[in-house]
Structure 1
Amino acid sequence: MFHFFETLVHPYPQEASGTPPRGLLAFLYHYSKAVLPLLAMMSLLTGLVSAAELVFFSYMGDLVDWLADAERDGFFAEHGWSLAGMALLVIFGLPLLVLGQSLLKHQSIFGNYPMIGRWLAHRHILGQSMLFFQDEFAGRVSQKVMQTALAVRETVMKLTDLFVYVLVYFTGAMFLVGRADPWLMLPLVVWLAGYVGIMIVFVPRLRRVSMAQANARAQMTGRIVDSYTNIQTIKLFADTLREQEYARDAMDMFMQTVHRQMRLVTVMTVCLTVLNSLLLASVAAIAVITWYFAAISLGVIAVAIALVMRIRFMSDWILWEVAGLFENIGTVQDGINTIARTPTVTDRPGAKELVVPRGEIRFEHLHFHYGKSRDDERQPRVIEDLSLAIQPGEKVGIIGRSGAGKSTLANLLLRFYDLEEGRILIDGQDVAGVTQESLRRQIGMVTQDTSLLHRSIRDNIRYGSPHASDGQVMDAARRAHADTFIETLSDPQGRRGLDAHVGERGVKLSGGQRQRIAIARVLLKNAPILVLDEATSALDSEVEAAIQEQLYALMEGKTVIAIAHRLSTIAMLDRLVVMDKGRIIEAGTHEELLRHDGLYAALWRRQSGGFLGEDIETDTQQKVPDEA
């Protein structure tokens, strides 16, 4: 039975959902469509449960009247069937209603509902461009995905479950007491007006204080985490006292919001208690007076007092639920600002799969400035009217100092960003017109800043080819000279070798070890186009020399773009292209560029320890070739 209700909703819908809408109601509907029928059924059952409780109160009033008026000898003969019906409703009716409502609420909706939101939001976030992740903290984005999904559930379920229950209950209570004597309705109406007034006065204030408290808590947590993250620096400079004061300032700001919140809570609680006490006293007074004049029976008094007591207990709960509703709405609205963004890089309608039979690459008149105005002379030139043709199977080295545009060129090839002008062709196919996934499947890349997934060594290498066997994984590891340290790895859970987990971003490995895993991953991928962006920068000379042999073998039959500061690693390539300020200023073989005696020759002469010098003065006014 539980399994049946748990599988009524699929928590991982596969159909494309698109960019979430930015309006609150539309956003809520976007993540609630799959569970709307179940929410409607749950609301119906909730209303029936609330009505059943009111029927019990009515029965209890009738029972008091029967007991007051009936003779013992004929009591069961006169009221037996009514008592039996009441017993059946109490013993079977209400539990069955609660069972149905609880199965829908807890088995079908409670867990699946937020998971649908997390799944759809995560899929959408994965489709965001690189610029999105450069502007956001990964932890903040993941927190928004998790919190917003829960807030959507809480907001919608409070509206469809809690308030349906309260609405049916309060309306029914008004009807029950008003049926006996309209005067008994007056205290309830006055109480309702006062209750709404308390919510209008206090709930917005509580919401503002709660938001301020959340910001203060985030700042306090951020300062503490910052201290732990940089604990080595703190100990090196022996400055723990200043760190304590730094954290205490944030704690004091947090405590101020706590004091403000608790003051509001105290005043609100007292006001609500006074209002509830007046309700109880007024209903009791009216009930006694009307009974004194024989206008109502004892049963009505019992029902009225019982309902008022129930409302008193519910009122505090409802008030906090309303406050929680506003907080959840605020969380959803905050999440909308992060989640409901349209990706800046998307596949065009009808985009086709990229096919690479040869591997020719052409950059034609590229302009790219990361969205900055290229007319502003204060802004650095990133890519400025760059053209370059790379023949199938050609190995081209890209050289230039930091900021010259080398890595940007590789990112544009992979279409991490869209061009402002120009186009990039692979075997005559514009990369802007093919699917992003098919484009990136055809390009293997090793970057300078290698990060690994917090998974096993096997999973990280197999990312290059998901269906590779363990033998193929180990072969790639051997070719990347990673097998020597893989065999010695272990993690706190006792996993060893290929099964050992590498920690967040591969923190348990050294820079050279991470880079060798990344190279093994690309070796396993075996894509027809290879991009090496400082692929061996983190390796010592001995390991680099060994891996270079494998990289040369890997390059066979592939089109290669190699970016490096260490000129000796790319001097033997087919052609070298020198970039400066987003332009190509020299191109040729190593020997040709040395004979040309331009920037490359100066860099080669002044290179210290095999790395590119940063103090070279260049003539940026040299003629830029239209196409190298």
Structure 2
Amino acid sequence: MLGQSMAFYSDEFAGRITTKVMQTALAVREMVFTTTEVIIGIGIYFITIVLLAGGFDARLMLPFLGWLALYGVSVWYFVPRLGRMGKKQADARAMMTGRITDAYTNISTVKLFSHTQREAGFARAAMQEFKTTGYAQMRLVSAFEIVNHALVVGLILAVTGYSLWLWTLGQVGPGAVAAVTAMALRISGMSHWIMWEMASLFENVGTVQDGIATLTLPRAVVDRPEAKPLQVPRGKVVFESVRFGYGKPVPVIDQFNLTVRPGEKIGLIGRSGAGKSTLVNLLLRFYDLESGRILIDGQDIASATQDSLRAHIGMVTQDTSLLHRSVRDNILYGRPGASEAEMVAAARRAEAHEFIQGLSDLHGRRGYDAHVGERGVKLSGGQRQRIAIARVMLKDAPILLLDEATSALDSEVEAAIQASLDELMQGKTVIAIAHRLSTIAAMDRLVVMDRGRIVEEGDHRSLLSQGGLYAKLWAHQSGGFLGETIDGETVDA
């Protein structure tokens, strides 16, 4: 599942996927155990009973064989229906879990907008659907139980009556009557066990079918069979006639051409929706291009393994998300084999060491051992971003992507780590996006985008002198932030 594309995770509830993974794994285990137990149990036990009954008189086998035929018909009718119902119930359970998890994950938003009752109702609707499938399943099981009970009673009456009739004719002895009657009574208990096991088996089959439908979806982005590890000795990045539109008719990126020289630092600027973040996602190969190529040191990234590509790229995003683990684990995520000294050094360079020393959690863990909560909710936005910067500093990849890398930092902290960021960028190919134009004005080159195309290129002074889109964006900036519109459109860096 972790190999699925970003598009897959954008369209699914995290809780729904988790539930499907867990319940499918458990259902497969139960299927294996139940299938083995039922087949062996039915096969050995019933064959033995029929042979014993036939040992007294071949005609005593008839009631058992007749019951087996009718029992098989009932199983054929009910069990597949239970399987289909199990599939519906598994999907309803996953959806219910997904909605509840979504509400818990975004609890601050729920409370901020006073939508506690709304979300509770949303979850209750999913619970009602789950309950409806449960009731339907119970009705099927009850009907199966009634039919099974009727067949068992019929078997006991048929075996007892038929054996007594043969006894009155003097064709079987009283021992045979007692034995076959006892066998019929034993089958009564066995049939109920078989019924529940078969019902459970096909419910699990339904669960597995539902889970497999999601878990085996083809991956949108896959490594080619001949894919090789990417080699990045210099860090030159080339976009050749790139076109991409998330599968829609109107492309977000259209015939985009750009060459970033080794060690060059460029800033991407443009209105919201111009395609800046999409371009970064394409460089990371979160999505495959519709046409064109992206080359790194002459190698098409589509011909390289995804892991090797991303291993050579460090990125700090505006929406920083941390793992619910210790601060140490989160920083070491950049380079798991790094030493403690290297990890602490990265934290110091990111101006994070001081506040990390004062962290603690409910379990008494402190400093670098303190856990940060799901997605890092125990930390402020600025603290999360400084840990993310420390993580990228530790990774020390030759290509660096900065998507609002300092957006959550106040001016004082930003100024404190700017020198560290400048040091981090030395010798690296850098592509940066920022709302505050002042943070990227000193880049080697600024690339202004509009509707997926490059409309202006140059340094800060030359772009201002042109009086184009960049000059308008700069003029509308107030205190380092964008707060107005140009030609009726929101401006954004």
- Deviation (angstroms), 1:221: 5.7
Letter in 1 for 2:186: R
Q: CA distance change for structure 1 residues 162 and 266 in 2, over 3 Å: closer, same or farther?
A: closer
Contact 1:353 1:438 in 2 (8 A): yes
Q: Which one scores higher on RCO, CA 8 angstroms, separation ≥ 6?
A: 2
Query: Which residues in structure 2 correspond to 1:139-538 (within 5 Å)?
Result: 139-214=15-90, 255-373=131-249, 379=250, 381-538=251-408
How many Å separate the matches in 2 of 1:563 and 1:236?
A: 29
Bigger strand fraction: 2
Cα distance in structure 2, aligned partners of 1:226 and 1:570: 36
The partner residue of 1:551 within 421, 428, 444 is: 421
CA distance 1:574–1:497, change in 2 (3 Å): same
Paired residues of 2:85 and 2:137 also in contact (CA < 8 A)? yes
Partner of 2:486, secondary structure, is coil
Letter in 2 for 1:308: A
Could you give the per-residue CA deviations for residues 487-527 of structure 1, whole angstroms, max 9, x where no partner exists? 12222222211111112221222211111111000000111
Output the CA distance in 2 between the equivalents of 1:431 and 1:253: 45
**In 1, Cα distance between the equivalents of 2:264 and 2:126?**
58
Task: Summarize deviations over 1:204-257 as a string: whole Å, max 9, x none.
Answer: 444455555555556666666676667777777778777777666666655555
When residues 573 and 366 of structure 1 are mapped into structure 2, their CA distance, relative to the original with a 3 A threshold, is same
Distance in 2 of aligned mates of 1:514 and 1:236:
21
- Structure 1 202/439 Cα, relative in aligned 2: closer, same or farther at 3 Å? closer
2:153 counterpart letter in structure 1: S
Q: CA deviation at 1:357?
A: 1.8
Aligned counterparts of 2:248 and 2:220: Cα–Cα separation in 1: 15
Q: Partner amino acid for 1:331? A: T
Per-residue CA deviations over 1:456-511 (Å, capped at 9, x if unaligned) read 11111011111111111111111111112211222222221111111222122221
**How far apart, in 2, do the equivalents of 1:353 and 1:239 lie?**
48
1:309-357 deviations in whole A, cap 9, x for unaligned? 2211111121122222222222222222212223222222332222222
- How well do the aligned residues superpose, as a CA RMSD in angstroms? 2.7
Segments of 5+ residues of structure 2 without an aligned counterpart are none
Q: Deviations over 1:159-212 (max 9, x none)?
A: 333223212221221111012112211211221222223324433444455555
Asked if 1:597 corresponds to 2:467, the answer is yes
From the superposition, tell whether residues 479 and 234 of structure 1 become closer, same or farther in structure 2 (CA, over 3 Å).
closer
Gaps of 5+ in 1: 1-124, 374-378, 620-628
Does structure 1 conserve the Cα–Cα contact (< 8 Å) formed by 2:376 and 2:384?
Answer: yes
Displacement of 1:452: 1.1
Q: 1:316 to 1:152 in 2, by over 3 A?
A: same
CA distance in 1, matches of 2:463, 2:30: 67
CA contact (8 A) 2:27 2:208 kept: yes
Indicate if the aligned counterparts of 1:401 and 1:614 stay in contact, CA closer than 8 A: no
Cα offsets for 1:429-462 (capped at 9, x unmatched)? 2222222211111111111111111211111101
Distance change (3 Å), C-alpha of 1:275 and 1:311: same
Report the structure number with the largest CA radius of gyration. 1
CA contact (8 A) 2:86 2:206 kept: no
User: Does the CA contact (< 8 Å) of 1:447 and 1:535 recur in 2?
Assistant: yes
CA–CA distance in structure 1, aligned partners of residues 292 and 426 of structure 2? 30
Whole-angstrom distance in 1 between the partners of 2:306 and 2:109: 42
User: Could you tell me how far apart the structure 2 residues matched to 1:347 and 1:225 are?
Assistant: 32
